[in-house]
């Protein structure tokens, strides 16, 4: 798929003919220099944005064929998205934030279901706390629980550890890795950190809107070397 922004002199090709597949039950990291198209790729793949050309398929459904209403429903039911800045609603407790996707879909969240997913992310004792009463790592766990409550086909995460310290980041990454290993969750994560990328099964590199190779079973050293080469490459 491709994604262009603007027209004429100011036109930007944020994604240039990128073809990628994410196998079910696998963990993929997306890396590349700033402005290489990582967030654009994630937004298009998650149905938050539409590609200018090409197609996106999620769990057998072609997103291009969907109306805005149907796309919203699919996004709510089949896709989870986690952001760098957590994006929780500050006035709601952890359990209310987690239940929100179900409420938006017109269902009453079952307390046991919410409790189970909060326990899965290690936040059993924080269910009644509001975001302002929790650490960054705890808030990101709530955001992950909120993304998981609908059992999404894919969990997308755009720099989920970008706002966290090193130790907390590693805990969140171990949690994501556990979701892949234990519940065969499909995860696609953008990161700038070679250590974060090493938790994935493979790393996909972008440069200037194009695919620039991939690395299976990535070690932090191999990822850092590849990134150094990409950042040094002349445009
Ligand atoms: N809404 C927009 N309008 C115009 N240009 C945009 C828009 N969103 C992104 N771009 C451009 O598209 C290109 C890719 O942006 P994108 O946000 O996908 O990069 P990124 O790899 O996520 O970068 P970063 O690591 O800094 O987050 C950049 O050149 C950016 O300026
Ligand atoms: Mg980005």
The pTM for the full model equals 0.96
Backbone angles phi, psi at 66, to 5 degrees: -95, 140
Sequence-distant (≥ 6) Cβ neighbours of residue 180 within 8 angstroms: 25, 26, 27, 186, 187, 201
| Residue whose CA is at the smallest distance from ligand 1 atom 6 | 5
Q: For residue 34, what are its two tokens? A: 């700033």
Evaluate whether 179 touches 199 at the Cβ level (below 8 Å).
no
Evaluate whether 131 touches 163 at the Cβ level (below 8 Å).
no
pLDDT in tens, the chain (235 residues): 999 999 888 899 999 999 999 999 999 999 999 999 999 999 999 999 999 999 999 999 999 889 999 999 999 999 999 999 999 999 999 999 999 999 998 999 999 999 999 999 999 999 999 999 999 999 999 999 999 999 999 999 999 999 999 999 999 999 999 999 999 999 999 999 999 999 999 999 999 999 999 999 999 999 999 999 999 876 5
First to last CA, the chain: 21
**Angle between helix 94-104 and helix 136-148 axes, rounded to 10 deg:** 30
Residue 96 Cα to ligand 2 midpoint, Å, equals 28
C-alpha 45/C-alpha 36 separation (Å) is 16
Indicate the top mutation candidate among 8, 15, 38 to test ligand 1's pocket, ranked by most ligand atoms within 8 A of CB. 38
Instruction: Classify strands 57-58 and 154-158 as parallel, antiparallel or unpaired.
Output: unpaired
Structure letter (DSSP) for residue 8: G
- Protein residues with CB under 6 Å of any ligand 1 atom: 5-6, 12, 14, 32, 34-40
Residue 87 Cα to ligand 2 midpoint, Å, equals 16
| Residue whose CA is at the smallest distance from ligand 1 atom 2 | 5
């Amino acid at each position: 798929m491709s994604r262009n922004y603007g027209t004429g002199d100011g036109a930007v090709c944020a994604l240039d003919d990128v073809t990628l597949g994410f196998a079910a039950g696998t963990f993929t990291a997306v890396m590349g220099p700033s402005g290489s198209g990582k967030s654009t790729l994630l937004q298009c793949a998650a149905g938050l944005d539409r590609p200018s050309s090409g197609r996106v398929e999620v769990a057998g459904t072609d997103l291009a064929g969907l109306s805005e209403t149907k796309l919203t429903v699919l996004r709510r039911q089949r896709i989870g998205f986690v952001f760098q800045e957590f994006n929780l609603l500050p006035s709601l407790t952890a359990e209310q934030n987690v239940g929100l996707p179900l409420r938006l879909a017109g269902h009453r969240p079952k307390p046991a279901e919410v409790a189970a997913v909060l326990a899965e992310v290690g936040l059993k004792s924080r269910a009644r706390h509001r975001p302002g009463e929790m650490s960054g790592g705890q808030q990101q766990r709530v955001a992950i629980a909120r993304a998981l409550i609908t059992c999404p086909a894919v969990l997308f995460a755009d720099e989920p550890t970008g706002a966290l310290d090193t130790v907390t980041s590693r805990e969140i990454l171990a949690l994501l890795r556990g979701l892949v290993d234990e519940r065969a969750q499909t995860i696609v994560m953008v990161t700038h950190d070679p250590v974060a990328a090493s938790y994935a099964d493979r790393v996909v590199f972008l440069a200037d809107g194009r695919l620039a190779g991939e690395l299976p079973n990535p070690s932090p050293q191999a990822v850092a070397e590849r990134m150094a080469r990409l950042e040094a490459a002349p445009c």
